[in-house]
């Protein structure tokens, strides 16, 4: 019954362009950083493994301040908005259980299905931004984006089929369900090594 501890992280930077019907536009560069730490206690039974786990995942989205400009010649900048820089944190925690097994077929292929069920609690659900009309610096207002769900259930289902020592087929589906939202994602593919 080994204790499992894993950590991961990623970051991404990308340019963002905004064009509104008022003929105002702006561009900026955003950044995203994610860090996750997970621990679990693997318990093996006859033909399957049960792993209760807990995880914390911290991410931040950095949006620099920027100002729109207008393309209309007669009214330059009258309807353009300025946005203050904003760092949006996210701090969900996960508590759940993972079930997995391995099935070896007579032809040598190995199938590895996996199911994870977890409760997710988000400590930072607010997603807001402050904007100002460029021509009226005192006309500042807040924009509240779609809030993250404070509590949700997450289901991860995955399957891997080793068709040889160097090739695998894989697929996974993730669903997150709460009282305010539902999210689904999936992926599949082939992996080769040499």
Contact (Cβ atoms closer than 8 angstroms) between residue 13 and residue 31? yes
Res. 8: pLDDT tops 90? no
> Cα 64 from chain centroid?
20
Q: Give residue-wise pLDDT tens across range 145-174.
A: 778 889 999 999 999 999 998 999 999 999
Mean pLDDT of the chain: 82
Q: Which of 2-11, 19-28, 104-113, 115-124 has the lowest mean pLDDT?
A: 19-28
Q: How many residues does the chain have?
A: 194
pLDDT band at 74 (very low <50, low <70, confident <90, very high): very low
pTM of the predicted model as reported, rounded to 2 decimal places:
0.74
């Amino acid at each position: 019954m080994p204790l499992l501890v894993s950590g991961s992280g990623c970051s991404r930077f990308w340019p963002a362009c905004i064009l509104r019907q008022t003929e105002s536009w702006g561009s900026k560069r955003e950044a995203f950083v994610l860090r996750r730490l997970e621990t679990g206690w693997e318990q093996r039974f006859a033909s399957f493994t049960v792993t209760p786990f807990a995880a914390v995942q911290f991410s931040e989205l950095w949006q620099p301040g920027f100002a729109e400009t207008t393309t209309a010649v007669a009214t330059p900048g009258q309807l353009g908005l300025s946005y203050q820089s904003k760092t949006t944190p996210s701090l969900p925690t996960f508590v759940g259980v993972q079930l997995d097994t391995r099935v070896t077929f007579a032809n040598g292929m190995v199938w590895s299905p996996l199911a994870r069920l977890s409760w997710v609690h988000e400590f930072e659900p607010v997603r807001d931004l402050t904007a100002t009309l460029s021509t009226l610096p005192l006309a500042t207002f807040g924009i509240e984006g779609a809030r993250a769900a404070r509590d949700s259930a997450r289901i991860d289902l995955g399957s891997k089929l080793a068709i040889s020592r160097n090739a695998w087929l894989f697929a996974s589906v993730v669903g997150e369900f709460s009282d305010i939202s539902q999210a689904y994602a999936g992926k599949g593919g082939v992996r080769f090594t040499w």
